[in-house]
Structure 1
Amino acid sequence: MTMTPQEVQEHFMTYLEATECSVIEKSSEHVTVKLSPQADKMLTNRPYYWGFVERTGAPAETLSFTFVFDPTKYDEALAKQQKNSASPAGQGQDPVLSRYYGTAPLLPVLGPGRIQREDVTYGSSRLAQIWNAAREEGKCVYLFQQPSAPAAQRGRSTAYEQWLGVCFKVEFSCDLKREELHFLGISMSSRAIIEHFPAVLEGRELHPRLPERVHVKPAVLTLTEAAALLEDYLIEKLSRLDYGWAAQARERLKQELAVIDGYYEDLLKEEDEEKKALIAEQYENRKSEMQWQYEPKVSLSAITSGLFHLCSPVSASS
């Protein structure tokens, strides 16, 4: 798997916009931003600084970065721009000081006004950090659908239905591995379960604030009960799958164990008890390794979740 610079930029900009960073300059190859406090805390590894700000109430000064998504094209454009804007030596110098002391090199900008450059490409540590931050901060969301203009103008309260959406990761593993994502939703008031919940959310404008003139239907399920129902639903669905791959994996395990047995059969006849004990330990370790590698397993885990308050009624096609 790989990603183009445009795809990397799209992922990166989604995070920057979600954390309300201020865009200073943007092109198809780069973006220069001043980080928001939220993004600065997650990306710059300055816990002592933010601890000081929170303890003293001092105004926070966030860092600025130029994130470059296509370094080759960006450097070419930058070199061309510098060549076109080349000026006589000494520009930016004080004329009086230059007369007596000559032209001095301009010092780099340090401190809060400094803009650091970072190349962000597929596989870079900064991109991985963005994904980890998004995963950490987006584990659970609490969002409300914005009502349409006609609904907002009617003057009466709009009924909202509360839905718990959970994205599950299912991992089928043996000596091979396959993963699936299942995004399910359950109504907290009607117990209805929708299997492809992203289809419900698609096209809806969601915000973290409760809109005016809306009311939320009372829930009949607790979060724990709703999560358990979704998990039971998914487990029942998984139980209907074809598990021929598991039988094949156990057959391969049987063959590997037979090879190990054949290899250690003569070695275990060692007369020296100390050597025999070491060989027996190696033998058991090898069998444990093969069983761990080849034994078929199915694991289920929740990656992200959220409470979504949507205009009622809700269906996958709405």
Structure 2
Amino acid sequence: MEQQIDLSDFLTNYFEAKHCTILSKDEGQIHIQLTEEMDKELMNRPFYWHYIKKIGREGEPQVLRLITDQEKASEPGEWIHFGSPRLHQIINKLREKERYTRLFEQIRTLENTPLYPWLVVNVKISYRGVQHKDEVFSIGLQLLHGHMTLNMMDFLEDMPLERSISDYCYTLTPMIHPKSGFLRIQNVLLQHVQKQDNAWAAASIKQLETEKVTLKHFYEGEMDHPRYLEELDALEKRFKPTISFQVINGGIFYLTHRQMDQ
């Protein structure tokens, strides 16, 4: 499977879609001027905005500097990575407000132009055990011929998209039902997971068994003690290896054929 979505590109697309200004984007860092709306959504300053509105003044949205390169994590700014609270916050906001969308490529034409239906899904895969790891993938499936693109955000990044269709354009009827298309995408992700090195899972199981032996020794003769059962359950949740899939958002995108030529 191709490389997972680049975090810097994901963040840039997210903030630009929210009408924030990207002040700079150097290697390993993104400097963002937030809008008032995004400041309220992400920066947790309700008292500031309440006070500003009360005295009738214009507020000053904050500037956010995100560090995506771990080697620069000690520099001024906020280190953001797969699994970090800030990224979870952004993903959760996407899930809450923009779980599903329907967009059309905008073109200027005087001829009847067909738009091809694409199912686009952004998915997070989480690996949990002794160590935690997250991956984010952006996959597009054309619902007419079944062509699949595993880095869909790269194609959509500079494409003009709106909620209304352009003049003289019309949509083609999908040959593949979105539900069936999603199952195809799901199978690709499952194949990706099955190809991963499972050493992390083996290490998690080994650590779990070690912790259980220690716990049993501590509660010897009291295996039915409520505290023992509670701690045993906590160990299972902490160390038992699990893999979960979370749909961040998705939708149907209608695009011209030329945009997706390989």
- TM-score tier, shorter chain, comes to 0.5 to 0.7
Task: Determine if contact 1:168/1:303 at 8 Å carries over to the other structure.
Answer: yes
Match of 1:15 in 2: 18
Shift of residue 200, structure 1, vs aligned partner: 2.0
Match of 1:235 in 2: 190
Aligned 1:34-183 pairs, distance under 5 A: 114-117=56-59, 120=62, 131=90, 135-147=95-107, 149=108, 152=109, 155-183=110-138
Tell me, what secondary structure is at the counterpart of 2:59? Answer: strand
Task: Determine if contact 2:19/2:35 at 8 Å carries over to the other structure.
Answer: no
Q: Distance in 1 between matches of 2:122 and 2:254?
A: 17
Identify which of structures 1 and 2 has the higher relative contact order when contacts are C-alpha pairs closer than 8 Å and 6+ apart: 2
Q: Distance in 1 between matches of 2:215 and 2:34?
A: 57
Q: Which has the higher helix share?
A: 1
Match of 2:5 in 1: none
Q: Distance in 2 between matches of 1:288 and 1:141?
A: 40
Shift of residue 199, structure 1, vs aligned partner: 2.1
Q: Distance in 1 between matches of 2:53 and 2:123?
A: 46
Alignment-mate amino acid for residue 207 of structure 1? E
Task: Determine if contact 2:94/2:249 at 8 Å carries over to the other structure.
Answer: no
TM (norm. structure 1) is 0.56
| Alignment size in residue pairs | 214
Identity %: 17
Shift of residue 251, structure 1, vs aligned partner: 0.7
Task: Determine if contact 1:200/1:316 at 8 Å carries over to the other structure.
Answer: no
Residues 164-214 of structure 1: CA deviation (Å, up to 9, x unaligned): 100001000013211000111111111221111112213321111100111
Alignment-mate amino acid for residue 309 of structure 1? Y
Tell me, what secondary structure is at the counterpart of 1:238? Answer: helix
Residues 265-317 of structure 1: CA deviation (Å, up to 9, x unaligned): 2xx2xxxxxxx58x622222222211111000000010010211110155375
Q: Quickly say closer, same or farther: Cα 1:158–1:203, change in 2 above 3 A.
A: same
Match of 2:168 in 1: 213
Match of 2:252 in 1: 307
Query: Is residue 225 of structure 2 the alignment partner of residue 280 of structure 1?
Result: yes
Q: Distance in 1 between matches of 2:212 and 2:242?
A: 18
Tell me, what secondary structure is at the counterpart of 1:115? Answer: coil
Aligned CA-pair RMSD: 3.8
* Structure 1 runs, 4 residues or longer, greater than 4 Å off: 8-14, 28-33, 108-111, 130-135
Q: Distance in 1 between matches of 2:236 and 2:176?
A: 41
Match of 1:263 in 2: 218
Structure 2 unaligned regions, length at least 5? 1-10, 22-30, 43-47, 65-77, 79-85
TM (norm. structure 2) is 0.67
User: Quick check: which has more Rg, 1 or 2?
Assistant: 1
Q: Distance in 2 between matches of 1:114 and 1:208?
A: 35
Task: Determine if contact 1:253/1:290 at 8 Å carries over to the other structure.
Answer: yes
